[in-house]
Amino acid sequence: RGPSDTIRSAYAHNHYLQLAAEGGLLSLAEFGWLLAATARAWSTTLRSGDPWLSRVSTGLWCSVVGFLTIGLLESALYSSHTNLGFWMWIGVLHGLANRPLTGKAT
């Protein structure tokens, strides 16, 4: 940015850079831990043997991965208009992974 440039960016245009800039490396590490825990939750649903659960959880996981991939070029993690889906996808994945096994879903 040149000294005469009057445009000021509000964020880093990257989830991970923005998270590190605002919360520090500890926040970035905590976010990485959350993503690893979510990947384990997805893996748990795949091992359940329930085809419906596997398909639904795979769709949710693909949504999370898509959001995180877009985050390499845009920081929507702090936008209230777009991050609601991300947090809901993660919450549902964890909920599905921790549900009691009562047999196949109907």
For 20-65, what is each residue's pLDDT tens digit? 888 899 999 999 999 999 999 999 999 988 899 999 999 999 999 9
pTM: 0.76
How many C-beta neighbours within 10 Å does residue 96 have? 19
Left (φ > 0), alpha (ψ -120 to 50) or beta: where does 79 sit?
beta
Note the helical H segments in the chain.
Answer: 15-46, 51-70, 83-97
Indicate the pLDDT class of residue 106, thresholds 50, 70 and 90.
Answer: very low
Scan for tokens 């970035």, then name that residue: 28
